[in-house]
Amino acid sequence: MMTKITLRRPDDWHLHLRDGAMLAGVLPETARHFGRAIIMPNLVPPVVTGDDARAYRDRILAALPGGMAFEPLMTLYLTEATDPADVARAHAQGLIHAVKLYPAGATTNSQSGVRNIEAVMPVLEKMAEIGLPLCIHGEVTTADVDIFDREQVFLDTVLDPLRQRLPGLRVTLEHITTAQGIDYVTNASGDIAGTITTHHLMINRNHMLVGGIRPHYYCLPVAKRASHQQALRAAATSGNPRFFLGTDSAPHTDPTKESACGCAGVFSATNTLSCLAHVFEQETALDRLEGFASLHGPARYGLPPNDTTITLEKRDAPVPYPAKIVTGAGPVTLFDPGHPLFWHVIA
């Protein structure tokens, strides 16, 4: 039985760091284990221009504790007013690595997102021309579509038509939660990839709703039934380079989660690697963890893998993770998979 594994240092291809006191509180949780991360731009107000991205990157680097190495890979938040020339300039400067499409109203801080795809076609055409990936929150927001069907309906009604129209557009379907999303990314022709979160590999909607409502498992896209979770686990551990890790670690303070109208987002930065080793071991795929966490993502983004490593060791005693991370913005509850984790990051 394997009890020790060394990987190239992983990266996180979908991460929310927020700003100010929250940023300062959560950044070390990611930087402790990850070399780089694609930084989500859904601040209030959002990171829309190249200048916004530069200023945000500088705030992230300023918040990084001395002695820690971490490279934030910036993104822009696509709005109907985004200027294609500004996007192209920020990309040419090496400042941004993707643009993020939030359908308006789909999730936390998405009110500035896209209502009419026609309005952003000039930006998307420019991105196809320069090879800049579009990261997509793939859910429709139409009131009559059931929340559990929103990803699946998005594939047929928005994503596929868009990709037919602009076959050169490089697309990352973010935080896939359905078997249909997995099938789409697996089988579609052209340039497409998908990220999968830590928590969607470990929980399904029963964990969130059976025996009481657990607000810390509520995120968007919402966890689906167990058969979808199985499809995600199969894809993540398949070795298919189209799938890689995007934790979607999304901190909200406890009062905003434990509320009559709680925010969407699961915070998993701290224990993601222990969780992933647990899942990959259960699927007898520990040898594929490095691909999922450390190799497929850089290949997709045209970057070299990190040249440092991390080592995990399976021990008899569980890892003593804290229940909450204390930040200057308030306490943030850490994702609890509901059972102990035995894979310790030791180096």
Q: Give the amino acid at 128.
A: A
35 binds ligand NCD (CB under 6 A): no
150 binds ligand NCD (CB under 6 A): no
Considering beta carbons, is residue 33 or 200 the nearer one to ligand NCD?
200
108 binds ligand NCD (CB under 6 A): yes
11 binds Zn ion (CB under 5 A): no
107 binds ligand NCD (CB under 6 A): yes
Which residue carries 């949780």 as its tokens?
29
Q: State both tokens at 324.
A: 């909450």
Considering beta carbons, is residue 5 or 232 the nearer one to Zn ion?
232
Residues 92, 94, 97, 99, Cα dihedral to 10°: -50
- Asked if residues 15 and 39 have their Cβ atoms less than 8 Å apart, the reply is yes
139 binds Zn ion (CB under 5 A): no
Considering beta carbons, is residue 109 or 274 the nearer one to ligand NCD?
109
Helix residue ranges per DSSP H, 82-120: 84-92
277 binds ligand NCD (CB under 6 A): no
Q: Which one of the listed residues 11, 12, 86, 248 is annotated catalytic?
A: 248
3-state secondary structure of 281: helix
Rounded to a whole number of angstroms, the minimum distance from the CB of residue 160 to Zn ion is 22
Cα–Cα distance list, 89 to 76, 95, 146, 324 (Å): 12, 9, 39, 40
Residues 74, 79, 85, 87, Cα dihedral to 10°: 10
- Asked if residues 204 and 228 have their Cβ atoms less than 8 Å apart, the reply is yes
237 binds ligand NCD (CB under 6 A): no
String of contacts with Zn ion for each residue 236-255, x by CB under 5 A:
------------x-------
Q: Give the amino acid at 218.
A: Y
Considering beta carbons, is residue 109 or 306 the nearer one to ligand NCD?
109
220 binds, among ligand NCD, Zn ion, none (CB under 5 to 8 A by kind): ligand NCD
240 binds ligand NCD (CB under 6 A): no
Q: For this structure, is 336 an active site residue?
A: no
Order of strands across the sheet with 243-245?
12-15, 36-39, 71-77, 96-101, 134-136, 171-173, 192-196, 243-245
181 binds, among ligand NCD, Zn ion, none (CB under 5 to 8 A by kind): none
Q: By the criterion CB under 6 A, which residues form the site for ligand NCD?
A: 16, 42, 107-109, 137, 219-220, 248, 250, 264-265
Active site residues: 248
